[in-house]
Amino acid sequence: MPPIPFQPSHKSPFKSTLSTSQQGRRRSDQTQALTGPATSQGHEGPPSSIDPALLNPDDWTLLAEGAKNLLLRYKGPSRFPFVHSSSTGTGDEARVALRIPKRDRGSSSSSSSSSTAAKKTDSEEDDGSLDALQWRRTVIEPLLAPLSMSSLLPPLFPVVVAGDEQRAKLRAFLDVMASRIEVLRKMERRKASGIDTGDQALDCIWATQDLSAGNHRGDVYAFEIKPKCGFRPQGKNLSDESRAPKTQHSRYKMHRILKQAKGGDKKPFSRQEWEGLFDPLDLFSGQSARVDRAIESLWSDWKQPSRTEERTNLCVFRNGVALQPEQLQQQQQQQHNVLFSHFRQIVKSAAVERVLKHLVELQHVFDQSDIEGVAKRWQEEIGTPFGVGTEHGPAAEVMRAASLAEYAEAVQRGLHRLSTPGGQPASGSSSTTATSLRQDIVDLLLSAMWKDCSLFLRSDEGSGELKVHLVDLDPKSIEKLRHWKQLDEDVVAAYKAWSESLAA
């Protein structure tokens, strides 16, 4: 694809996280750290770990920030392990990004409980948190295995803290980075949280691939899509108030109405404007004309000057820098059309089509009842406010953090449903036993993860290679249940109020 000659701004770092944001505990003896630098020449594949002694603050800058973590991008000289050949053997160059845990302003540092954490065994869980590698191997990889796409998940490897000296070096590195990147962070993020340098947080730092970075072979274009929920719920578990809206329209488009209403001074959507919004149902449909419509609406919504980041489902990068729509609009129309055509061709590729088809199946098999059905069952069996735990009793048991073993059982339920026509257990099979409320909730947490993940499409112009990745595969907190139920009600109410106002 011809290069697009503009100078993008470096002031707006990549917003979304590129890897899992769960806090994982690991023992320092799980992996042997790399002990010295080397060139990336001839090295195949990512490193097994990162030695904190190799981290120089001058070589790093802010890449992205999410709710729980922020990412640091490597900008230093080309040397292993921070720059290495990809595991595909194509000669593609890969760069490292570090995922750093954050803590809320005013909260106590995680170092205060480090002595307790150090005494836990490998089988125990720390406040419901899950080790990132165990989560990937136990939950994510088995559910993506039917795709037979080994590169779908970016590599993930630890920054190993093997002793007091390494711990001190890592904390010193983070202290310097915390002060240097503050000016690059959004004001609301700066007020809410900062880098966590407590002992437990130091054991939760992981490295992954910077998927948006360029390389020496040519331009790299990357497109991050938030596809959202690709199906509508069945009406049997829905209330009379919500049944029609939720079975006729996509959740995402109705949610857009609520978000605009909360904007206060924004003019409500006209019917025509709303119909033109990105609809996940089109993207996941598998029908060429509808997919084209989704692609066009994604692109149109992204390039609107008045858009807000919170409602943008597409980010575009060139050689690691986020492209701004205003910059594209200053270029010749022909160059703009070339980039859009490239994006369209990638989204309609066979590889992306396969991933989207499997993704919506995963969303669906783990959401058999909708949040309304789960809440209704809660009331029937427990009778307390939905999603609110108690110190003792049934609510306390149902609302405890889900264990890795429970997720592993849920994975088997999901895989069985995937292998069954219609996604339902086969008659006479061992899976005909009704699921418990607890199992329904764990399933719902997994569905929410698949609905909220990102599709990252990396196009290497030098090699002509397209890589498809799924990122943001974080385990969802069970504490979100109450919020999800309230949000569901608010979305439906906002849509109905908007629809009635148009009819008035």
Q: Write out the two tokens for 182.
A: 């503050």
**How far is it, in rounded angstroms, from Cα 37 to Cα 56?**
12
Q: What is the dihedral of CA 284, 278, 71, 160, to 10 degrees?
A: -10
> Do 480 and 345 fall within a single domain?
yes
Torsion of CA 470, 474, 207, 9, to 10 degrees: 70
Assigned domain for 364 exists: no
Q: What is the DSSP string of 319-377?
A: TTEEPPHHHHHTS-HHHHHHHHHHHHHHHTSHHHHHHHHHHHHHHHHT-SSHHHHHHHH
CATH number (domain holding residue 196) = 3.30.200
- Same-domain check for residues 333 and 468: yes
- Long-range pairs for 162-169 at CB < 8 Å and ≥24 separation? 162/28, 162/29, 162/33, 163/28, 166/33, 166/51, 166/52, 166/53, 167/52, 167/199, 167/202, 169/52, 169/53, 169/55
- Give the residue-averaged pLDDT of 55-60: 96
Number of neighbours of residue 155 by Cβ within 10 angstroms: 18
471 and 342 share one domain: yes
Domain's final residue, options 151, 179, 210: 210
| Residues 457, 308 share a domain | yes
Helix, strand, coil % over all residues of the chain, rounded to 5: 45, 15, 40
Domain match, 152 and 276 both: no
As given in the structure block, the two tokens for residue 106 are 């005013």
Same domain assignment for residues 64 and 181: yes
Domain interval for residue 127 = 52-210
DSSP at 136: I
- The answer to whether residue 42 is domain-embedded is no
Asked if the structure places residue 43 within a domain, the reply is no
Number of folded domains that form the chain = 3
- Token digits for 155? 């590599």
pLDDT of residue 330: 60
Nearest to 214 by CA among 330, 71, 318: 318
**What confidence score (pLDDT) does residue 21 get?**
36
Same structural domain, 194 and 338: no
Q: Which residue do the tokens 């112009």 mark?
A: 461
Count of helices and strands (H, E) across the chain: 19, 12
Pair 413, 327 in one domain: no
Residue 403 CB neighbours (<10 A): 14
Which pLDDT band holds residue 85 (cuts at 50, 70, 90)?
confident
In a domain, 482, yes or no: yes
pLDDT digits (tens, 9 = 90+) for 91-139: 567 899 999 999 888 765 554 333 333 323 333 333 346 888 899 999 9
Among residues 472, 471, 484, 395, the alpha carbon closest in space to that of 444 is found at: 484
120 and 82 in one domain?
A: yes
Residues 322 and 174 in one domain: no
**Contact, 20 vs 473, CB < 8 A?**
yes
CA 208 – CA 303 distance, rounded (Å): 29
> Of 411, 428, 450, which marks where a domain is finished?
450
For residue 321, report the phi and psi dihedrals to the nearest 5 degrees. -110, 130
- At position 407, the amino acid (one-letter code) is Y
In a domain? residue 87:
yes
State the pLDDT at residue 6.
35
| Domain C-terminal end among 435, 450, 465 | 450
The answer to the question of residue 31 being in a domain is: no
d(CA 31, CA 50): 10
Is 260 a domain residue?
yes
pLDDT confidence of residue 386: 95
Same domain, 198 and 240: no
SS3 63: strand
pLDDT at 336: 75
Give percent above pLDDT 90 in the chain. Answer: 58
Cα–Cα distance for residue pair 353/399, rounded to 1 Å: 37
- Averaged over 408-431, what is the pLDDT? 73
User: What are 467's two structure tokens?
Assistant: 């890589």
Chain segment 472-486, per-residue pLDDT in tens:
998 999 999 999 999
Which pLDDT does position 425 carry in this prediction? 42
pLDDT exceeds cutoff 90 at 457? yes
C-alpha span between 302 and 319 (Å, rounded): 19
Q: Is residue 26 part of a domain?
A: no
Where is average pLDDT lowest: 248-257, 277-286, 388-397? 388-397
What pLDDT, on a 0 to 100 scale, did the predictor assign at position 489? Answer: 98
Same domain, yes or no, for 433 and 467? Answer: no
